[in-house]
Amino acid sequence: MQYLRARNLKQALLQAAEAAGERVKFLAGGTDLTVQIAEGALDPTLLIDISAAEELRRLERGAEGLRIGAALTIAELLESARAAAGKPAESASIPRCLLQGAAAIGSPQIRHLGTIGGNVCNASPCGDTLAPLIVLAASFTLRSPRGSRVVPAEEFFLGPKATVLEPGEILESILIPVSHLSGRSAFRMIGKRNGQVISQVNIAVWLKRGRSEGAGTISTPIEDIRIAAGSVAPIPLRLKRAEELLRSVIPDPPLLQAAAGAVQEEIQPISDVRTSQAYRRSVIASLFTDVIGEVLEREGR
């Protein structure tokens, strides 16, 4: 297995393009990839390490939204939010559900190595940033020698460990649009313990209320809402039926209960090493109630 380190994105693309006949994998933090290689699930002949490519490590708030470089580590993402906490304008720039999802990943050791782009490209149905990125209407910029294309998070995943990425194509950055930087969001996961655990089920909710802000919020209809869950289907799944039930309505307990039921019906869980199908279908109702409760409660304040 050969190893190359790319100084920048262009070099990485070139190295991959020149590697005819090689089985190329791009390596970032390596927390998933090295295990899959060690266990024989993957057998690349060339690794191109993109973790040091500076243009993949930017975090920028611009007119179009928040752009997150794919090789930013999970710890760097969380740290940037912590560092910005004192500055009111910036603190809202990384949506809460994404921070909660990032914090749920692995251990401190994993979060210092692993990258957000790696979590996305590994495409595990249980990846804890995936449901948050879907509810935040994120889009992924993919680069190849032929140019770049933008793919919505929702359309990126094809199945467990399968994505629309073509050979030699790199996830460059993730954009969370301005439209979804406002509004409120939250994330929940459940596993066998709190730390260092893979989600048995996770769920993220983003919503935006109607026009009136402040005192009238409680009685203002939900203008828009997105719900997505992980580890409940071959891909992180957007739950549109539950969204429909809650869009343009003033949420009350019966409606939220109906939405929880819709969530249970819409998921397609399986039984696997981590837990059973029945448990996933049961527990997601509680997770949903909990997570939307957090969003609505925080908004009401």
Query: Closest separation between CB of residue 221 and another protein, Å?
Result: 38
Judged by CB, which is closer to another protein: 25, or 280? 25
Q: Work out which of 7, 23, 35, 166 binds another protein, going by CB under 8 A.
A: 35
Judged by CB, which is closer to another protein: 112, or 281? 112
Q: In the chain, what is the straight-line distance between the N-terminal and C-terminal CA atoms, in Å?
A: 55
| Residue span 67-106 as binding mask against another protein, x where in contact by CB under 8 A, dash where not | --------x------------------------------x
- Name the one residue in this structure whose structure tokens are 């109630």: 289
Judged by CB, which is closer to another protein: 82, or 241? 82
Stretch that binds another protein, among 34-42, 121-129, 155-163, 183-191 (CB under 8 A): 34-42
Beta strands in 155-296 (DSSP E): 157-159, 162-163, 170-177, 184-190, 201-209, 222-230, 237-238
Q: Work out which of 8, 19, 49, 224 binds another protein, going by CB under 8 A.
A: 49
Restricting to residues 175-204, which ones interact with another protein according to CB under 8 A? 194-196
Give one DSSP letter per residue of 194-215, joined into a string: SSS---SEEEEEEEEE-S--GG
Query: Closest separation between CB of residue 108 and another protein, Å?
Result: 5
Pairing of strands 46-49, 24-27: parallel
Judged by CB, which is closer to another protein: 92, or 110? 110
Q: Is the dihedral of CA 24, 198, 291, 276 positive or negative?
A: positive
Judged by CB, which is closer to another protein: 61, or 112? 112
Judged by CB, which is closer to another protein: 38, or 273? 38
**By CB under 8 A, how many residues form the interface with another protein?**
25
- Name the one residue in this structure whose structure tokens are 């009685």: 219
Which residues make beta-bridge pairs with 25? 47
Q: How many angstroms from the chain centroid is the CA of residue 20?
A: 32
Q: Work out which of 108, 145, 177, 300 binds another protein, going by CB under 8 A.
A: 108
115 interacts with another protein by CB under 8 A: no
CA distance 60 to 273: 39
| Per-residue b or e along 158-197, where b marks 16 or more CB atoms closer than 10 Å to that residue's CB | eeebebebeebbbbbbbbbeeebbebbbbbbbbbeeeeeb
**Three-state DSSP state, 42:** coil
CA distance 128 to 58: 21
Instruction: Give ∠ CA 31-96-292 in degrees, rounded to 5.
Output: 110
Query: Closest separation between CB of residue 25 and another protein, Å?
Result: 11
43 interacts with another protein by CB under 8 A: no
Which residues make beta-bridge pairs with 27? 49
Query: Closest separation between CB of residue 190 and another protein, Å?
Result: 16
61 interacts with another protein by CB under 8 A: no
Which H helix or E strand runs over 181? helix 178-181
Judged by CB, which is closer to another protein: 52, or 84? 52
283 near 200, Cβ under 8 Å? yes
Query: Closest separation between CB of residue 3 and another protein, Å?
Result: 4
9 interacts with another protein by CB under 8 A: no
Binding residues for another protein, rule: CB under 8 A, are 1, 3, 5, 27, 29-31, 34-35, 38-39, 47, 49, 51, 75, 106-110, 112-113, 194-196
